[in-house]
């Protein structure tokens, strides 16, 4: 069991930010990552379509004999919220760990930034209110953030203008904590910290996942990391390397679902 | 034959700009439009994947008993360039008419704006050079234009900053003609004309299609316009209405391919 890989999936490459932090935390662990690039983005799709795609991917990961599945995509997590297993395999999403991380900061008010699908689902506010009914939550949909990251616009004039569009009101409120509710957004963390001020605690939901996975992970044996995507272009190869930030992988494969 | 509808497809809603101009030109004609919203955008996908999706959609349109198929998507057009029929049904793309429209202007140099897939394919420069080997062509990939249009950012600070990113050099060259090489871009036409100057001729490839279709179209009988999309959200319903700009449709249907 312990030698089986951990399966991770996302609509695209954003979930690699989660893969990276887990691969650093568990250096002997194997991973299979599936990025559904052919059908990205999920953030503006309906819950029915996202669920259909998610089930298809989880079936594929099950065939890769994974010991756990991590939904490293907030839009997909919002659709599978509260589900703890898929056909007997432990299932983790990125929303519940993010909400738990907010509790640890002691923040009384929190803002959630996410895609249209994630914000529309109200998954974060529901989860946060279950943990602390008194917490104030503001959810802000930022649909241009993913295209910005995909085009490498993580600082500069365009980024600033897009921040002004979505976050001008938030900045004036001096929020205590802000959840980066999309796995692309860690790539904007530096610019967001500068824009919102150094006081605000920015929470990457992926970071907290490692605590939950501890009991499943091994401490010896050699690892293998496979990066599988449903479409392959030069652009995405370049982007994958940026997201990996030096983390080595063993294979990059194109997969047809 | 003449009473059969014309089939039109695009990765999303951008192709509605083509549907709209054909519906205005041929008021007795019926249309079936297929927007593959569940898998948009095509602009950053590989040619193999775009071809696979295109064939799937053309098979679906054939089952709707269309008398002609229009590929109202530049990224898909670039993959099917030069193909004049699909299983016996006349097939039209938006690239060749756009190139012919440039010839009519007499321009000696032209810039093409498009998605990554369209520009990477070099479909416009190849087609333009075939028509006039001496013409100067500059192709510029503008991957943030589609997300801008999808988010309603068709003027203002963000739009200006994105124009500066892609078109600052072009503006200083005072181009004679610019092809809007993506069916989303007509929504940016006003802002582009203001940015590039009133002298430059902006070419919507869809406009020229109507001449090619004349022999296929009827002049009486009542029409029906069906808008079919592979995913349905409030956002896309709103967006569809913006693209339609008052053109009435008979049905909006969700289709699973």
Read off the pLDDT of residues A102-114 as tens digits, 9 standing for 90 and up.
Answer: 999 999 999 999 9
What is the gyration radius of the CA atoms in chain B, in angstroms? 17
Question: Do A198 and A233 belong together in one domain?
Answer: no
Task: Grade residue A193 by pLDDT with cuts at 50, 70 and 90.
Answer: very high
CA–CA dist A203, A102 (Å, integer) = 7
Residues B102 and B33 in one domain: no
Last residue of a domain, one of A189, A206, A223: A206
A149/A228 same-domain check = no
A1 domain residue, yes or no: no
pLDDT score at A182? 92
- Domain stop point among A188, A206, A224: A206
Task: Report the C-alpha gap between B109 and A251 in whole angstroms.
Answer: 45
Indicate the DSSP class of residue B20: H
State mean pLDDT over A13-36. Answer: 88
Domain identity same for B135 and B155: yes
B212: which DSSP letter?
H
In a domain, B1, yes or no: no
Q: Nearest chain A Cα to B40, which residue?
A: A39
On the question of pLDDT at B231 being above 90, the answer is no
Same domain, A120 and A76: no
Residue A45 has its nearest CB partner, among B49, B147, B231, at: B231
Please check whether residues B88 and B212 belong to one and the same domain. Answer: yes
- CATH number of residue A240's parent domain: 3.40.50.1860
Integer Cα distance of A253 and A18 in angstroms = 19
Say which of A45, A153, A157 has its CB closest to residue B38: A45
| Residue at A153 is within a domain | yes
**What are the chain A neighbours of B38 within 8 Å (beta carbons)?**
39, 45, 49
Give the pTM.
Answer: 0.84
pLDDT tens profile A149-177: 989 999 999 999 999 999 999 999 988 99
Q: Whole-angstrom Cα distance, residue A162 to residue A148?
A: 9
Judgement on whether residues B140 and B193 belong to the same structural domain of the protein: yes
pLDDT at position A216 is 79
Dist CA A161 CA A163 (whole Å): 5
Number of C-beta neighbours around residue B95 at 10 A: 27
State whether B79 and B171 are in the same domain. Answer: no
pLDDT band at A85 (very low <50, low <70, confident <90, very high): very high
**How much of chain A, in percent, has pLDDT values that exceed 70?**
98
Q: Does A38 contact B at CB distance below 8 Å?
A: yes
In a domain, B169, yes or no: yes
Band (B132; pLDDT cuts 50, 70, 90): very high
User: Are B106 and B201 part of one and the same domain?
Assistant: yes
CA-nearest residue to B234 within chain A is: A46
Above 60 in pLDDT, residue B1?
Answer: no
Query: A256 vs B152, which has greater pLDDT?
Result: B152
Give the domain extent around A211: 6-93+207-254
Q: Are residues B199 and B211 in the same domain?
A: no
Same domain, residue pair B163 and B244: no
d(CA A83, CA A79): 9
Is residue A217 part of the annotated active site? The answer reads no
Tell me which H or E stretch contains B251: strand B251-254
The pLDDT of B213-236, averaged and rounded, is 80
B103 is a domain residue = yes
Strand A6-10 versus strand A31-35 pairing type: parallel
Its ipTM equals 0.79
* A120 part of a folded domain: yes
Q: Is A147 helix (H, G, I), strand (E, B) or coil?
A: helix
In a domain, B44, yes or no: yes
A182 catalytic per annotation? yes
Q: Quote the number of domains for chain B.
A: 2
Residues B212 and B194 in one domain: no
Asked if B236 reaches chain A (Cβ–Cβ under 8 Å), the answer is: yes
- Is there a domain that residue A224 lies in? yes
């Amino acid at each position: 069991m312990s030698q089986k890989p951990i399966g991770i999936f996302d609509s695209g490459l954003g979930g690699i930010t989660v893969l990276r932090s887990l691969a650093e935390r568990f250096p002997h662990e194997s991973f299979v990552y599936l990025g559904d690039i052919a059908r990205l983005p999920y953030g503006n799709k309906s819950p029915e379509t996202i669920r259909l795609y998610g089930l298809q991917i989880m079936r594929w990961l099950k065939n890769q004999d994974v010991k756990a599945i991590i939904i490293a995509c907030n839009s997909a997590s919002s659709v599978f919220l509260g589900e703890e297993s898929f056909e007997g395999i432990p299932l983790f999403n990125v929303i519940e760990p993010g909400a738990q991380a907010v509790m640890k900061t002691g923040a009384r008010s929190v803002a959630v930034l996410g895609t249209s699908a994630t914000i529309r689902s109200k998954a974060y506010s529901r989860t946060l209110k279950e943990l602390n009914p008194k917490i104030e939550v503001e959810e802000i949909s930022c649909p241009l953030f993913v295209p910005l990251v995909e085009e490498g616009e993580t600082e500069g004039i365009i980024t600033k203008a897009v921040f002004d569009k979505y976050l001008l009101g938030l900045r004036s409120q001096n929020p205590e904590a802000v959840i980066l509710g999309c796995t692309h957004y860690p790539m904007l963390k530096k610019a967001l910290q500068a824009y919102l001020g150094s006081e605000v605690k920015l929470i990457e939901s992926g970071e907290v996942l490692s605590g939950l996975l501890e009991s499943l992970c091994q401490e010896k044996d050699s690892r293998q990391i496979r990066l599988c995507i449903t479409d392959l272009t030069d652009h995405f190869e370049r982007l994958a390397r940026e997201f990996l930030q030096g983390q080595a992988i063993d294979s990059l494969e194109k997969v047809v679902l």
